[in-house]
Structure formats: structure tokens, C-alpha cells
Chains A and B, each alone.
Chain A
Amino acid sequence: MSRLGAVFQGLREQNRKGVIPYVVAGDPSPDGTVSLLHQLVAAGADVLEIGVPFSDPMSEGPIIQKGHERALANGMNLSAVLEMVSVFRRDDQRTPIVMMGYANPIERFGYSAFADACAVAGVDGLITVDLPPEEVDEIDAALQAVGLDNIFLISPTTPEARIQTIVDRARGFIYCVAVKGVTGSGQLDTDAVAARVATIQGMTTLPVAVGFGIKDASSASAVAKVADAVVVGSALIAEMEAMGRAENASEIQIHGGAVKLLQSIRSGVDSSPS
């Protein structure tokens, strides 16, 4: 079984919900990313989502945009992200890693070369924001050939007939976007999310993770009541940014901001009865 399959099965058996942190590879510093990932796992992450920095992150709000800009200023690129994953895998064989990014760096790398490199590094799944089902065939074939999951987004504007098309070709899990907007924006409408997740779950047995707009333990706990997992990104990055503003802040202190928030989200999720 794939790492993603195993983790979600384990969660179901224990009647628990998943926590998926998102951080940008190379932000705030390339040397610290791998240790940050391990710390996030220790703080309760079930799956890791790693943002691949891109010069034009069109679906990101200002907080994650800045993360991309910092990472690029630090010299990050797709090959370096893959290298980080393989370093992470030396010490963690269990936690699934999903890379999230945009099509162009992958196009440039070459779809099948990229899929092969992912498999070698130990990546488990891929979310490419600007590859909707209409444009995904080529990379999907390359990923399937090496047993990787392509993960699709379903948004509040996706019509029901289209949800069926998407879940039919989805693997790993479904990423349900909770708000109309960019990452980090919007007011979460828990009732609407609940209805949406129920609709999706009526069409697939794949786990449904909800992201965009989850900021803290209470929003995470509310969403975890109705979904299989919660994704939190902007809030973690905002915490690190805030810690980094202090003069002479050490990397441990900066990472600590994200780790503390993730711990509190973990307990919020675990305390939410399902």
C-alpha cells in the first residue's frame, strides 16, 4: 500500500482525523527545511505538504507569496526541493509527502523525468494548482507509471457533475478548497464546507482533506468534524514570519512558531468528536 493509503487507513481505524501542514521549501531558510519537516511530524502532522517555490504563485495570498519570494531569494528550485525530500526520507520512511506547486517548473524539468525523480526521492503525491483535469493527462500518466498519486482540488465553484469527473480520476486524497479565493483569505463557512464534503464523500471513498481558511485550533476542530483531514498553511507561515521579525531570532525560535501552532491544531482536531 502507498504511504498515503496507509496513513489514511490508520487514521480511519483509529477514528482520528488527519493534520496536514503546508510549508514552502526553502522558507525561511533552505538549510532548515528538513528539520522543520521533522519537527512538524513530531508536533502531530500526518502528511506533509511542501510548497515548491514559483515566481508567479497565482493562487497564493500575500503570506504564502512572500514565502515563495523568500525561498527563491534563497536560491531554491525544483531539484533542490527533491533533494530535501530525499534527505528527509533518510530519517522518516513513514510520513507521506505531497508536493504542491505550479506547472511551469515541472514542464521545464520534463514530466516523466520529474515523476521518476519524485519516486526516487520519496515523494508520494503531487498537487499542481494550474493543472486542472483538462490539462493533466500528460503528467498524470507519468506519475501513474511510477505509482505516485495526482491529487486534485475541488473548489466551491466546481459543479457536481464535474466533481464526479474529478473524483473518478483522483488518487491519494481529495483536496477540498474551502473558500472562493487565494490561500489565507476568506471567512470559513463551516456549514457550507460540511455540505460540500458530504457531497464529495457521496461520490468517492477517497479521503477528503479541507484547506484554505483554516487558521487555528478552533477552525481546524470545526472542519475536522466533517472532513478526513485539515490542511493548514498560511497560518503556520505567518507565525514563522512573526517570530522572524524579532531581532536575532534563531531558526529554532522561528520554527517554534509553526510547531506550537501545529500542536494546538493537533489537539483541536483530536478533541473534536466525530
Chain B
Amino acid sequence: MTSEVTPELFSTVPDASGRFGRFGGKFVAETLMSALADLEQLYADLKDDKAFQSEFDLDLAHYVGRPSPLYEAARLSDHIGGARIFLKREDLNHTGAHKVNNTIGQALLAKHMGKKRVIAETGAGQHGVASATVAARLGLECHVFMGEEDIRRQALNVYRMKLLGAHVVSVTSGSRTLKDAMNEAMRDWVTHIDDTFYIIGTVAGPHPYPMLVRDFQSVIGREARAQSLAQTGKLPDALVACVGGGSNAIGLFHPFLQDADVAMYGVEAGGKGLETGEHAAPLSAGTPGVLHGNRTYLMQDEHGQILDTHSVSAGLDYPGVGPEHSWLKDIGRVQYVAANDDEALAAFHRLTRIEGIMPALETAHAMAHAEKLAATMSPDQQIVVNLSGRGDKDILTVAALDGIEV
């Protein structure tokens, strides 16, 4: 870490203009500026409001099923031989991933604003399902934008969204994946700005989204911190989470940022290998730029055009990343690494066979790195991995990759 990093620093971001150091901001068309200002104001009013917080907490407890367990994967730890591995079981949440923590929070904001229509972008479909779920519960009209390519590889989640009453809009522009779904959601938002709330699914987008999504997801880290202390009498030595846009990672990391002895690893999608260029790892192999309303590390060419990404996991297949991660990288607080498709697939099978837990392919990237890390550590050390989601949605993909017809 660089010398000017003090524990207090982490509570100062973002600043009033939405900056995390040089990252973040509000790089959007004028039409959106007043909607963002309204959202900022509402959130400032509700953030520390006791009634709002208890409404949120109650939903997390009774609807999502929180707290999620911190489970010691003892057989896997033995198998690897090294640090004790603990899994923060976000896969056990209602709808099967961490995404729902955020959609519950944003849906409450939408309700307070009196919006009747919500929109969302989705890659793996987990955020789309979580949005469709809260929309069904609150009786809101819901439109989910999803790249044509992702609709194909996440067919089960597409059907889930439809069952929940959402309209799934197929996006055929650009690379037909998550970034294009986000473009299309932004376009829908400017067109229906008066009655629509945009539920962004990760810690990206313009200010205040990276901040409020982080705040809603931080329940993961707060619980994990208390559970570590209660179950093991100490804080973990390392945290590991996969990074698409970065919401499950920031949710785990944020409550530990001031604990200087806790190391943190964000795991990006290495795709076919960083050296091939076919990956989705902007922090590991990208450069800063502006996309989707914020300045952050991006995968781009020398002319500033955004590059196509590749990952076996639709939820990590994104050329940008939340601006707070870019800042945490630059100040050296978090290490960002990559796990490639094959490593993730192997980790998927290992966790399934050794612990009876089938992780999402996104999550399998975190597992792949956690295993490598654990092997370098000693049995008196411990790692917490964010088990961000369950793998049911990926079964057909895994079967196809393994050459099996289901």
C-alpha cells in the first residue's frame, strides 16, 4: 500500500461529485442529470433514516433469508492443504445470488419515488431475475434488457424472468452481451425518464449508483466480519471474490477495508488467457477511460473503442468495472488477478464434488483463485470466499463445455 493510505480514507469516497480518486463521476447525457440528482437527494435523505433501514433489514431477513451462513469448507481445505477456506453463502439467498440484496434496496427507493416501472440490464440473468422478483412482489412493471448472446446461454434464467412477469428485451446491438444491454437500458431510461426507475445491477454506472449498490451489498461483509469473529475468534487473513462489475466483491470487501491486515483479492475473468486478449479483465489488462457514466478501467483499443470481451461466464463478460475497484487497485488496497475459463470450470467441478456445493460460473472464478492462494498459506490462516451465487443456471453451459448432451 502507498504511504498516504490511512484507514479513514475509505470512508471519504465517493466525494460529493461521485469521485473515487480520479475514477467515478457522472458521465451521462444531460437528460439523465436531473434524475440522478433526484436519486442522490432521495438516497441522502433515506440512507440514515431508521424507518428505511429497518424496512430494508426486515426484507433481507424475511424475504432474502439473511444472514447467509459462513460455512467452513473443511474437506476442500484438506484437499488443497493450506489455509482454512470459508464460504460466504450468498448462493443460499432467495433467487440464488447476492444480486437480490441490491434489488431489494433499489426497489425500496423506487417505491419511495412513486415509480411504477422498473428496468434492469442483465448478463447472467441473476440480476434480471432478482429485479423481476422484487418487481413481482411490489406489483411494478419490469423490463429486463439482455444481450441476444446471453439470452442463448442463460435460457433458464430468461424463462424464470418471464414466469415472474417481466418483459425480457433482446439486445442485438454491438457485442450482444452485458455492455450492450446496459446501453439499451440507458436508452430506455432517457425515453421513459418520468415514470421509470433504473435498477443497475452492479457497482458501475453514474454516481450515485456505485455508492448505493455498494452500501446495499455491504451487508455481506458486515455479516462475514461478525461471523468470522464469532466462529473463529479472529478476522480472516484474506478475502476473495469474483469481479464482473464488482458488486459482490465490494460488498464483501468494504466493511474490511480499514482492517489493514486483511488481504483482498478480486478475481476477474481471464477468459482464454490474458495473453490472448480474449478475456474480460479490465483491471488486470485494461486502461482507464469513460463508459456507462463513470471513469474506470476499461478494455479498449488505442482509439478508445470498447473491445469485445470473452468469458465462459455471462455475468463477468463486461469490459468495465465499478470505479471504486479502479481506485482500490491504484492505491494498492486490493490485488486484482484473473482466473481463466478452464480454471473456473475445474473449480466448479471440485467444489461440486468435494463439498456438494455447485457454484455459479462467475463464483467459480473466485474459487479457482482461492484454491491457489490457500495452497500458499498455512492451516492457522483463513480465507473467506464470497460464494456469490449458485450454479443451477449454468448447468447447460457446463454440460456443453464438457461435451455432454442433457
Contacts and interface: CB of A to CB of B under 8 A. Distances in A.
Given A104-B290, A157-B35, A180-B194, A55 B306 contact: yes
A106 interface: yes
Interface in A76-131: 77-79, 102-109, 129-131
B175 to A, nearest CB: 9
Nearest to B180: A56
A150 interface: no
Contacts of A152: 30
B191 interface: yes
A155 B193 CA distance: 12
A104 B298 contact: yes
B174 A56 contact: yes
Contact of B31 (A131, A134, A157): A157
A181 interface: yes
Contacts of A77: 303, 305
A273 interface: no
Contacts of A134: 17, 25-26, 33
Contacts of B186: 58
B179 A108 contact: no
B75 to A, nearest CB: 45
Interface in A47-67: 54-62, 65
Given A104-B291, A135-B27, A153-B29, A54 B305 contact: yes
A78 B289 CA distance: 15
A132 B34 contact: no
B193 A158 contact: no
B304 interface: yes
A177 interface: yes
B187 A105 contact: no
A46 interface: no
B183 A78 contact: no
Contacts of B194: 180
B53 interface: no
Contact of B290 (A72, A130, A157, A182): A130
A56 B304 contact: no
A260 interface: no
Contact of B305 (A62, A72, A153): A72
Contacts, number: 118
B289 A107 contact: yes
Nearest to B172: A62
Q: Give the size category of A's interface with B.
A: 35 or more
Q: Which of A56, A69, A105, A107 has the largest count of B CB atoms less than 10 A from its CB?
A: A56
B319 to A, nearest CB: 9
A132 B17 CA distance: 12
A59 B289 contact: no
B304 A180 contact: no
A68 to B, nearest CB: 10
B259 to A, nearest CB: 34
Interface string B266-301: 000000000000000000000011111101001010
Nearest to B308: A55
B173 A65 contact: yes
B304 A182 contact: no
A186 B191 contact: yes
Given A55-B305, A157-B31, A181 B25 contact: no
A157 B305 contact: no
A180 B31 contact: yes
Contact of B29 (A54, A155, A162): A155
B293 A130 contact: yes
A180 B34 CA distance: 12
A259 interface: no
Given A134-B25, A180-B194, A103 B30 contact: no
Contacts of A104: 289-291, 298, 300, 304-306
B289 A155 contact: no
B26 A135 contact: yes
Contact of A155 (B31, B183, B288): B31
Contacts of A159: 34
B174 A55 contact: yes
B76 to A, nearest CB: 40
Interface in B159-213: 173-174, 179-180, 183, 186-187, 190-194
Given A107-B304, A131-B27, A56 B290 contact: no
A154 interface: yes
A77 B306 CA distance: 12
B30 A107 contact: no
A154 B190 CA distance: 13
Interface in A243-263: none
Contacts of B27: 103, 130-132, 135
Given A65-B173, A132-B27, A152-B30, 10 more contacts: A55-B174, A55-B305, A56-B292, A105-B304, A108-B300, A108-B304, A130-B28, A130-B290, A132-B28, A181-B190
22 contacts: A55-B174, A55-B306, A56-B292, A59-B190, A61-B187, A62-B173, A72-B305, A77-B305, A103-B27, A104-B300, A107-B295, A108-B302, A130-B290, A132-B26, A132-B30, A134-B17, A157-B31, A157-B33, A157-B34, A157-B193, A159-B34, A181-B191
